[in-house]
Amino acid sequence: MTMSEQLKQFLAVFDTLVADVMDVAVNQYETPKESQQWMSENLKYNVPGGKMNRGLSVVSTYEILLGRPLTKDELFKAQVLGWSVEWLQAFFLVADDMMDQSQTRRGQPCWYKKPEVSNIAINDSFVIEGSIYILLKKYFRSEPYYVDLLDLLHEVTFQTELGQMLDLITAPEDHVDLTRFTLSKYKTIVKYKTAVYSFYLPVAMAMHMAGVKNPAAFAAAHSILMEMGEFFQIQDDYLDCYGDPAVIGKIGTDIQDNKCSWLVIQALDLANADQRKILEQHYARKDEASVAAVKALYKELELQRVFTEYEEKSFAKLTQLINELDTATIPREVFTEFAKKIYKRQK
């Protein structure tokens, strides 16, 4: 099956899952008409619309692990788990956009930016999260790996929250302290806020479904996927500054938001005393002139070239890790498939 067919089939399942969640809300929890409309709008606005790499990875990993085409039922179940990752991501993004005061996401206004939504978006993000467990109960309750899935999701959610916490407290709105921004702090933030839920979660879900029990297999997957996740977030930081908003669907806010971005860490590493002063004066300021001054410094320091070099090195390192993998525990293809989806991405 081609990628676009896989995506088409994956998208086709979404309405069924929304209907499943609505059914529980309406028939078990007395949800009235006005809430039904609100909730279905919330889900339809926020859950689809991304690249779906995470969701599709559950399906492709499961197929690789079984080593044969999936039956209809197996495909559907893997798609449900794939959507549960997309649902989890939607929960995070609705909340993250409020915390980061972002304007747009996936080419449309952030949910909280809609005047009729505003702070209700906080509860809407919780409703998106809660829906995941309605779906899991409906389709996986009697599976032997049901508890493993629940445990995994809870663990990953907590880890992501810890990562988000560190991201936020390292970027206070009111004062700039560039000494906070170190590469080791950066690595901790991105491992927890992005890599675990975006890379380890989809693969670990497929492993549970396929009946993998060997802890060494999970550990091997974890170490490679953390590496991939770190690279992915570095790309995200790069695109925050250099991506085309029309392509990435969002407008970068990292400089204004005082974020511990990979770019500012590189800049601090390369800057002389005068250049460091420019960062001290202009980083984390909301005005456009300050943002422009920071971007001009990035240009002077040739950060685009620094990124391209990093990208090559990171790809080589990842290829090496994949080659060294003990394939008795897990096939290489799981990781080469995932890597293909993210290297040299424009969005």
Q: Which residues are catalytic?
A: 51, 91, 96, 100, 105, 167, 193, 232, 236-237
Q: How far is the CB of 317 from ligand GPP (least distance, A)?
A: 22
Residue whose beta carbon is closest to Mg ion: 100
176: its two tokens? 């700039």
The rounded Cα 56 to chain-centroid distance in angstroms is 13
Single out the segment in contact with ligand GPP by CB under 6 A; choices: 79-87, 92-100, 142-150, 218-226.
92-100
Q: Judged by CB under 5 A, does residue 96 bind Mg ion?
A: yes
Q: Judged by CB under 5 A, does residue 254 bind Mg ion?
A: no
Q: Judged by CB under 6 A, does residue 41 bind ligand GPP?
A: no
Distance between CA atoms of residues 204 and 222, nearest Å: 8
Q: Judged by CB under 6 A, does residue 129 bind ligand GPP?
A: no
DSSP 139-158: HHTTSTTHHHHHHHHHHHHH
Q: Out of Mg ion, ligand GPP, none, which partner does residue 63 contact, by CB within 5 to 8 A per kind?
A: none
Q: How far is the CB of 256 from Mg ion (least distance, A)?
A: 12
Burial 174-197 (b: 16+ CB within 10 A, else e): eebebeebeeeebebbbbbbbbbb
Output the 3-class SS for 64-109: HHHCCCCCHHHHHHHHHHHHHHHHHHHHHHHHHHHHCCCCEECCEE
67: left (phi over 0), alpha (psi -120 to 50) or beta: left
Nearer to Mg ion, 92 or 199 (CB): 92
Output the 3-class SS for 171-218: CCCCCCCHHHCCHHHHHHHHHHHHHHHHHHHHHHHHHHHCCCCCHHHH
CB 64 within 8 A of CB 208: no
Nearer to Mg ion, 103 or 214 (CB): 103
Q: Judged by CB under 6 A, does residue 208 bind ligand GPP?
A: no
Single out the segment in contact with ligand GPP by CB under 6 A; choices: 23-31, 87-95, 145-153, 305-313.
87-95
Look at residue 122 and give its three-state secondary structure.
helix
Chosen residue from 61, 131, 164, 314 binding ligand GPP by CB under 6 A: 164
Q: How far is the CB of 83 from Mg ion (least distance, A)?
A: 22
Q: Out of Mg ion, ligand GPP, none, which partner does residue 189 contact, by CB within 5 to 8 A per kind?
A: none
DSSP element (H, E) containing 134: helix 120-140
CB 229 within 8 A of CB 205: no
Nearer to ligand GPP, 193 or 208 (CB): 193
Chosen residue from 41, 74, 161, 337 binding ligand GPP by CB under 6 A: 161
Q: Judged by CB under 5 A, does residue 257 bind Mg ion?
A: no
Q: Judged by CB under 6 A, does residue 93 bind ligand GPP?
A: yes
Using CB under 5 A as the criterion, which residues of the chain lie in contact with Mg ion when the complex forms? 96, 100
Which residues contact ligand GPP (rule: CB under 6 A)? 92-93, 95-96, 100, 102, 160-161, 164, 193, 236, 240
